Every structure is written in C-alpha cells, then in structure tokens.
Homo-oligomer: A and B are copies of this chain.
Amino acid sequence: MGQSGDTEGKGRAPRRAHVGTTIADVAQAAGLSPMTVSRVVNGGQGVASDTRARVMTAIDALGYVPNLAARSLAGGRQDRFALLYDNPSAAWLSELLVGCLAQATDLNALLMVERCEAEIAPSDIVRRLTCHRIDGVILPPPLCDDPALLTALNDASMPMVQVATGHPSALASSVAIDDEAAAYQLTGHLIALGHRRIGHVSGNANQTASPLRRVGFERALAEAGIALDPELVVAGDFSWRSGFTAAEALLSRTDAPTAIFAGNDDMAAGVIAAAHRLGRDVPRDLSVSGFDDSAIATSVWPELTTIRQPLGAMARRAIALLSQARTGQADTWKRRHECYAFELVERGSVGPRGNA
C-alpha cells in the first residue's frame, strides 16, 4: 500500500454525485468544524460572535440550506400531523389549510389532510392515524366537538388541538374565540341601530359554537330589555341553503324581523338571497349579519357585517401546540386552551332600522 489514498485497493463508485452544499462544505470554507456550523444554524447559543460571523459569511457565500431529511433523521424526530375535516365551508377550510401548512413547513413537519365523514367509527380513524405514524391531530368543527372521537384519540395518547370549538375539552388543547361574547357584541350592534325584532338562524347542533352564538344573541336581547320571541329563532346547519330557507320562513311572517343574525357567513348569504327574492332591500328593509368573515362575506352584495376570527393565526398556533406536545412526554403533554380576540367588521349588510 502506498501513501496515496486515492489509488488504494479496489475502489467503488462514489455513492452519487454531490448535489447541493452540505454542512461540511460550509465548515471547510469557514475553517471550522461541522459541529460549530450546526450550532450557528440552530440558534447559535454559546458561539463566539466572530465565529458566528465567519459561519454566516460562508453560508451566504455558498447558499447553504440544511437538508431537512438529514436533520430529522439525526435529530430523531420528524413530526407528522394530520388535519381531519368533515365538510366545513370551503372558504373556511382553505384558510385553515393554508395556515396549518405554512406552520408545518416552518417546523419541518409533515401535514396529512384527511376527510373524515361522520359515519366513520372513531376506532377506524385512530387505526388509520396510527398506521401513518401520526404524532398529532388538528380538529376543526364538527369533529372537534365529537366526544367519542376525542375519547378514542385520547385513549391512543394522541395529542390534539381543537380549532374554533365552543367547548374546549380537557383531553385536548384548543384555539378559539369567545363565540358567546362575539355574538353578544354583534347583537348589541344591531340593537344599537334600533332593531327590536331580530331573528337568528342558528348553526348546526353538532358544533358547540352554535348554541354559544345563540346564547350570546339571547343575552344581548335580555340585557336590552327585549323579550325573546322564540318564533324568531330558526335552526339552520351552517349551509347557504339553510339560511335561505330560514329567511324565507322568517320574512313571510306578518311580524317579520327587521334584522337577522345568521350563525355564519354562508347562512347570511342565503338570508340575503331570500330577502332579495322576496323583494326586500338589504339593509333598508332588512339588516343581515354573518359570522366568521370568510371569503363569501366580501363576495356577496351587500358585503356582510360579520365577526372576524383570526383563523390563519389560530391554525398556525394549533400546529405549534402539536409540535410542543411532541417535545414533552407522551401521555403528559400539557393541554393549553387559548382564546383569540375577535373583531366586529361593519360592512353594508347592516343598517339602522327603517321607520316602520
């Protein structure tokens, strides 16, 4: 054997052509060890500032970007989260999706999105998640309000975050707004504009936010000394159609309401459509308010006065909470329940009561 390592023995082809800059390249360029580069890249605690500067210069010069697969493998973790959904409003879902995806990308986590119809047994859902090695689950309505599902998931030690639930569970973390307070404020707004006969189209009973919004509505009425007419509260299911149907019934009454608070924007759009069909002007003859500030709120005419909830931020936070849960002990992850600020957004669909 000579001294030259290049020619020693029966060499085999190198694994593959080198593509992309690695941490070793940066280390060499900076005259440091890969370990030090790794430290700088991962926060840089306990690194001399001039060392850090040298590393940063090399990173910029070489255009280094860490290989996430290697990082996951070496770090011993790659989170895989699942977003389960069942037939929410498309606009609502896309906002949720984009937010979750953005955070998942930042955290180098995989996000799997699965439709979960109500007919599927919780045990089957758990099985599927386990199969895919899912480390945590995002649960939007109505799934977040399904006790059987929550229990099954908890029994499988699956961290979960309820998004926009009206009833935070002890088994999960949650991000939500105060639906009751928001509905209260919105209804108060209608009352302040002179409305006394106010209708409400409630949401689907399978979501806990629905009764909360109705309760906020009723509390505002009660505090203003307005007797609740139960005939003016109609059960909807969050669909455009149910808002349309409910409004047709409400507006056909001799003592029709001068304002209608719909439990979400889709139903509010349906209410406006029904009003127009019956020849009523919005907001002159009828004020209509929605809830959520989803895309449809600014699509229809007149645009909807509604409650804005920061869904994108809530979605990002939900993924972050899941990631934190993974960091702690299984079985003992810390549940957190976070409440976000909502905002009353005034647009054209609500106006002062006419002289009736």
Interface of A toward B, CB cutoff 8 Å: 15-16, 19-20, 65, 67-70, 72-73, 76, 78, 89-91, 93-95, 97-98, 101-102, 105, 110-113, 115, 131-133, 239-241, 244, 266, 270, 272-273, 276-277, 279, 294-296, 299-301
Contact = CB atoms under 8 A, between A and B. Distances in A.
B65 A69 contact: no
Given A93-B94, A102-B113, A301-B273, A133 B65 contact: yes
A7 to B, nearest CB: 27
A73 B67 contact: yes
Nearest to A295: B90
Contact of A69 (B19, B78, B111, B273): B78
B300 A240 contact: yes
A69 B70 CA distance: 7
Contacts of A299: 239-241, 266
Which of A16, A94, A272 has the most CB atoms of chain B within a 10 A radius of its CB?
A94
A240 to B, nearest CB: 4
A308 to B, nearest CB: 15
Q: Is the interface of A mostly helix, strand, loop or mixed?
A: helix
Given A69-B69, A132-B65, A90 B94 contact: yes
Contacts of A112: 101, 105
Nearest to A245: B301
Given A73-B73, A91-B94, A240-B300, 12 more contacts: A67-B73, A68-B69, A68-B78, A90-B296, A93-B94, A97-B97, A101-B113, A102-B113, A105-B110, A240-B299, A273-B276, A276-B276
Contacts of A266: 299
Contacts of A131: 65
Q: Which 8 A-B pairs have the closest CB atoms?
A: A69-B72, A90-B91, A94-B94, A276-B277, A240-B299, A90-B295, A69-B73, A69-B69
A120 B244 CA distance: 40
Given A78-B69, A131-B65, A279-B279, A101 B90 contact: no
A299 to B, nearest CB: 4
18 contacts: A19-B76, A65-B132, A65-B133, A67-B78, A69-B73, A90-B90, A90-B91, A97-B97, A97-B98, A97-B101, A97-B113, A98-B113, A105-B113, A240-B296, A240-B301, A273-B273, A273-B300, A276-B277
Contacts of A97: 94, 97-98, 101, 113
Contacts of A93: 94
B133 A294 contact: no
